Copies of this chain bind each other. A is one copy, B any other.
Amino acid sequence: MKEKILNILLGERLRDSELAGEKFNVLWGIPVFASDAISSVSYAGEEILLVLIPVLGYASYHSFLPIVAAIIGLLAILVFCYRQTIDAYPQGGGAYIVANANLGETYGLIAGGALIIGYVLTVAVSACAGAAAVTSAFPELSSMKVGIALLLIALLTWGNLRGLRESAVMFGVPTYLFILVMIALIITGLIRFMTGNYTPAQIQLVTTDSTEMLLFVILRAFASGCTALTGVEAVANGVPNFKAPETVNAKKVLYAMAGFVCLIFLGVSVLICLYQITPNEHVTAVSQLAAAVFGGGSIMFYIVQIMTVVILTLAANTAFAGLPLIMALMAKDNYLPKRLVYRGARLNYSNGILFLFGAASVLVIAFRASQHLLLPLYASGVFISFLLSQLGMLKHWMLHKGEGWKLKALVNGFGTVITACTLVIILIMKFTQGAWVTLLCIILLVYLMLRIRQNYDRVQADLSLSSIEEARSLLRSSTSSKVIIPVQSLSRSFIKTLNCATSCGFSEIEFYHVSSSEERALQLKKEIEALQIPASTFRYDVTPYRNTEDVLLRHIEAAQDALAPHEHLTVMIGRLVVKHRSHRILHNRTNENIIARMEKYRNVYVFTVPYLAK
């Protein structure tokens, strides 16, 4: 029944051998990995202008295109660098793997932590943006904004739980549609402008008497515009998600993504300048552009609006493709719970997907679905992972050399300098707005991951055997002599436990009873002796304090202390199993508590004999 429902919801389970079929080809890889980057582009130009216009007024358009060009230059550098990363580290994981391999554990974890936080934020921000679009179209739903955002996350989670390939098609078609719509917008806009068939929109004059220095403003605009670059690292993180030859396909997707980002960002930015678009809080730049190019009430205008909302929501899909893979890599290295390593019924990392669902939902609820509060946390984490990735690659070339390493090192060295400068700019400009939260979270995450690693290492060292010889040396051939069976009353559960004990062939059975009165103990003694179990003794203690558990455990401890170093003691104890969890509260949990406490004794074998209540 449960299986059938899961099959309908998620599709038939897949065999291990079907993994290759679940990977992306170039066609479907592009929308999955590009949706984050392209969605950032749709608002990056606006972010720049929102910083410039209040200070520079009309002069903004002079500074605007150079800033856009600088960001596109930075994009080109990053693409070159990540191309090298893909070749050098085809197992994926991007910044985490590169930093871990070349800069050491701590830097690897910082990069990994930054990626985790970045991806979780991607999902939360996208869902909030999608919900905001829905509620601004239907204001009567605005009280349900948090619920709508959670619904969008649930929808993406569901699609991704169905498997990589299914989600790629489900969410890929709208991404391509958005790209087409934007290209149509750019071409139409250029044609309309060149054919002179255009009346400029009424430009709102905004001037301030701000005395902020020009450089400061431009740097701040640059920092804001850098959101255009989030999502660029996604391809390098997710190389193993591509069909073979993985690196070739990944690089194709990387180029295609960069091409689309460049085209749309540049095109939209040029149009903004040509049409002298002035974004404000209520109407986005893209929306104004669409109105200017297609006319405010035209069908194309509404299509642009709808597709913008869709792409903003789908940006989250990149995180669903990237984060579970990175977390699986980190879990494989013992930095995260092992369950993140295992693939689910549909061959995706279902636990990672569910984590992303949970974490993003918590953020959405905590920030009441307001993306304006979430956005400042965003860019700093992304650029920390950029920087560590570049620095790691630089070190990689210097250590491993190889063909043409000097040029490659130069590319990554340049990337290091640029991303470092950008990170510094972002941190200075955004620190008080929330970047400090991101830094704090990364530090906490690194600490937590180091502790997890320690725990795993300790347990694995304790469990592991270096050789068959060591295993054989630990084998004991002695048949144990004595078993202690705690007994409170004669019941079927006790008889089952006793049958277990006799079937194991213990040479001596000790029944042990804790009672509040001598008479009760003697009565039980009489009953049990009437069973005539061979080689059995009955011992009891009387306590006036109603602390059966403590007295029993003290007895077991005393018996344990009397053991020779390599001997073991066996305790067999019945346990009532009820059919429904809710019934547990009705039944005495004494035995459960005793079992849990005895499990901490190293020299005691605890056998629990379940008795299933009707």
Instruction: Enumerate chain A interface residues (CB-CB to B < 8 A).
Output: 13-17, 337-339, 342-345, 452, 455-456, 458-459, 461-465, 468, 471-472, 474-480, 490-493, 495, 498-500, 502-506, 516-517, 527, 530-533, 544-547, 568, 570, 575-579, 583, 585-588, 598-602, 605-614
CB <8 Å contact, A480 and B504: yes
Most B-side CB within 10 Å, residue of A479, A586, A599: A586
Q: Please name all residues of chain B whose beta carbon is closer than 8 Å to the beta carbon of A337 when the two chains form the complex.
A: 585-586
Q: Please name all residues of chain B whose beta carbon is closer than 8 Å to the beta carbon of A491 when the two chains form the complex.
A: 463-465
Shortest CB–CB separation between residue A487 and chain B, in angstroms? 12
Q: Please name all residues of chain B whose beta carbon is closer than 8 Å to the beta carbon of A531 when the two chains form the complex.
A: 468, 471-472, 475
Q: Please name all residues of chain B whose beta carbon is closer than 8 Å to the beta carbon of A533 when the two chains form the complex.
A: 475
Identity of the chain B residue whose Cβ is nearest the Cβ of A599 in the assembled complex: B610
Q: Please name all residues of chain B whose beta carbon is closer than 8 Å to the beta carbon of A546 when the two chains form the complex.
A: 16, 342-345
CB <8 Å contact, A476 and B458: no
Q: Please name all residues of chain B whose beta carbon is closer than 8 Å to the beta carbon of A502 when the two chains form the complex.
A: 475-477, 479
Q: Please name all residues of chain B whose beta carbon is closer than 8 Å to the beta carbon of A461 when the two chains form the complex.
A: 614
Shortest CB–CB separation between residue A532 and chain B, in angstroms? 8
CB <8 Å contact, B463 and A493: yes
User: Could you show 24 A-B contacts with beta carbons less than 8 Å apart?
Assistant: A338-B587, A343-B546, A452-B586, A455-B583, A455-B586, A458-B614, A459-B576, A459-B613, A463-B491, A463-B492, A465-B491, A465-B492, A471-B490, A474-B492, A475-B495, A477-B502, A479-B504, A480-B503, A503-B568, A504-B504, A575-B599, A599-B612, A607-B608, A608-B608
Q: Please name all residues of chain B whose beta carbon is closer than 8 Å to the beta carbon of A601 when the two chains form the complex.
A: 612
Contact of A504 among B17, B505, B600 (CB under 8 A): B505
Shortest CB–CB separation between residue A323 and chain B, in angstroms? 18
CB <8 Å contact, B599 and A545: no
CA distance A492 to B464 in the complex (A): 6
Q: Please name all residues of chain B whose beta carbon is closer than 8 Å to the beta carbon of A472 when the two chains form the complex.
A: 530-532
Shortest CB–CB separation between residue A17 and chain B, in angstroms? 6
Shortest CB–CB separation between residue A452 and chain B, in angstroms? 6
Shortest CB–CB separation between residue A479 and chain B, in angstroms? 5
Q: Please name all residues of chain B whose beta carbon is closer than 8 Å to the beta carbon of A343 when the two chains form the complex.
A: 546
CA distance A464 to B517 in the complex (A): 22
CA distance A200 to B439 in the complex (A): 73
Shortest CB–CB separation between residue A501 and chain B, in angstroms? 9
Which 9 pairs across A and B sit closest by C-beta, in order of nearness? A15-B544, A504-B504, A599-B610, A480-B503, A505-B505, A462-B614, A463-B491, A607-B607, A459-B613
Task: List 8 additional contacts besides A345-B546, A479-B503; criterion CB under 8 Å.
Answer: A338-B588, A339-B588, A345-B547, A458-B614, A474-B492, A478-B503, A479-B504, A600-B612
CA distance A491 to B608 in the complex (A): 22
Q: Please name all residues of chain B whose beta carbon is closer than 8 Å to the beta carbon of A575 when the two chains form the complex.
A: 599
CA distance A602 to B462 in the complex (A): 35
CB <8 Å contact, A499 and B479: no
CB <8 Å contact, B490 and A465: yes
Q: Please name all residues of chain B whose beta carbon is closer than 8 Å to the beta carbon of A338 when the two chains form the complex.
A: 586-588
Identity of the chain B residue whose Cβ is nearest the Cβ of A15 in the assembled complex: B544
Q: Please name all residues of chain B whose beta carbon is closer than 8 Å to the beta carbon of A598 when the two chains form the complex.
A: 610
Contact of A468 among B464, B527, B579, B613 (CB under 8 A): B527
CA distance A234 to B212 in the complex (A): 78
Q: Please name all residues of chain B whose beta carbon is closer than 8 Å to the beta carbon of A463 when the two chains form the complex.
A: 491-493, 576, 611, 613
CA distance A517 to B16 in the complex (A): 10
Most B-side CB within 10 Å, residue of A343, A465, A598: A465
